[in-house]
Structure 1
Amino acid sequence: MRPAERASGRAGHESSLSVTFGRKGIEAGSKGHREITGWRLAALVFLPFALGYFLSYFFRTINGLVSAPLAAEIGLNAADLGLITAAYFLVLAAAQIPVGMMLDRYGPRRVQSALLVVAALGAEAFARSTGPLSLLLSRALIGLGVAAALTAGLKAIVLWFPRERVALVNGYMVMLGALGAVSATLPAEAILAKTGWRGLFEILAIITAGAAVLIYWLVPEGETKGSPPPAVGGLRSILRDVRFWRIAPLSGACIGSAWSLQGLWASAWLADVEGMTRAQVMTALCLTALMLSLGAWMLGALANWTRRKGLSPEHLLAMVAVLFMAAQLALVWRLPVPAIAPWLIIAIVGAATVLSFAIISDYYPKELAGRANGALNVVHFGWGFLAQYGIGVLLTQWPQSNGHYPVIAYQVAFGVNLALQAAALIWFAAPREQGPRSSDVQSGSATKIVMADLVAAPGERRARSQQPISQARW
Structure 2
Amino acid sequence: MNQSNQRRLWISLFLPFAAGYFLSYLFRTANAVIGPVLARELALGDNALGLLTSTYFLAFGAAQLPLGMLLDRFGPRRVEAGLLLLAAAGAAVFALSDTLGGLASGRALIGLGVSACLMASFKAFSQWFPPERQASLTGWIMASGGLGALAASKPLELALGFASWREIALGLAATTLLVAALLWFLVPDKAGEEKQAGGFAAQMAGVRSIFASRHFWRYAPMGFFFTGGFMAVQGLWASRWMTVLEGLAGTGIAYRLTLISAAMLAGFLFMGFFATRLVRRGISLDKLYLGAMLVALACFGLISAQPTLAGNLLWPVLGACFSLSNISYSLVAQAFPPALSGRANTALNLLVFAGAFGLQWGIGILVDNLQAAGWTGDAAFRAAFFSLLGGQLLALLWLFLGGRRS
Provide TM-score, normalisation by structure 1: 0.80
Q: How does 1:35-54 map to 2 (within 5 A)?
A: 37-54=5-22
- Aligned CA distance change for structure 1 residues 109 and 224 (closer, same or farther; 3 Å): farther
Q: Is 1:391 equivalent to 2:359 in the alignment?
A: no
C-alpha spacing 1:384/1:335, structure 2 compared with 1 (3 Å): closer
Secondary structure of 2:161's aligned partner? helix
The aligned residue for residue 197 of structure 1 is 165
- The verdict on how the C-alpha distance between 1:432 and 1:209 changes in structure 2, with shifts beyond 3 A counting, is closer
Q: Give 2:229's aligned amino acid.
A: S
1:91 aligns to 2:63 (yes or no): no
Contact 1:255–1:352 (Cα < 8 Å) also in 2? no
Question: Unpaired segments of 5 or more residues in structure 1?
Answer: 1-32, 434-446, 452-474
Q: 1:113-161 CA deviation, whole Å, 9 max, x = no partner?
A: 0000000000000001111111111111100000101100111111111
| Aligned equivalents of 1:89, 1:261: Cα separation in 2 | 13
CA RMSD of the aligned region, Å? 2.2
SS of 2:247's partner is coil
Aligned: 1:243 with 2:215: yes
Structure 1 residue 333 corresponds to structure 2 residue 301: no
> Structure 2 matches for 1:308-457, cutoff 5 A?
308-334=280-306, 337-399=309-371, 406-430=377-401, 451=406
SS in 1 for 2:77: helix
1:70 aligns with 2:42: no
**1:255·1:380 contact (CA, 8 Å) conserved in 2?**
yes
The TM-score normalised by the length of structure 2 is 0.93
Higher relative contact order (CA 8 A, sep 6+): 2
Query: Which range is displaced more, 130-139 or 306-315?
Result: 306-315
The answer on whether the counterparts of 2:264 and 2:320 sit within 8 Å (CA) in structure 1 is yes
Alignment match, 1:258: 230
Contact in 1 for aligned 2:54/2:361 (Cα 8 Å): yes
SS at match of 1:395: helix
Query: SS of 1:273's equivalent?
Result: helix
Residue type at the aligned position of 2:177: A
**8 Å contact 2:92–2:170 — kept in the other structure?**
yes
The percentage of aligned residue pairs carrying the same residue is 37
Q: Whose helix fraction is larger, Structure 1's or Structure 2's?
A: 2
CA contact (8 A) 1:255 1:349 kept: no
Deviations 1:440-460 (A, max 9, x none): xxxxxxx5xxx2xxxxxxxxx
Query: Do the aligned partners of 1:299 and 1:354 also contact (CA within 8 Å) in 2?
Result: no
Q: 2:83 matched to 1:112?
A: no
* Counterpart for residue 157 of structure 1: 125
Q: Which runs of 5+ in 2 are unaligned?
A: none
Q: 1:238 to 1:187 in 2, by over 3 A?
A: same
CA contact (8 A) 2:293 2:325 kept: no
Amino acid at match of 2:380: A
How far 1:388 sits from its partner (Å)?
0.8
1:166-207 CA-to-partner distances (Å, cap 9, x unmatched) read 101110110122101111122222222222111110001000
Amino acid at match of 2:190: G
Give the Cα–Cα distance (whole angstroms) in 1 for the partners of residues 83 and 182 of structure 2: 13
The aligned residue for residue 7 of structure 1 is none
Determine the C-alpha separation between the residues in 1 that align with 2:376 and 2:39. 15
The answer to whether the Cα contact below 8 Å between 2:34 and 2:165 also exists between their aligned partners in 1 is yes
SS of residue in 1 equivalent to 2:189: strand
Asked if structure 2 preserves the Cα contact closer than 8 Å seen for 1:34 and 1:160, the reply is: no
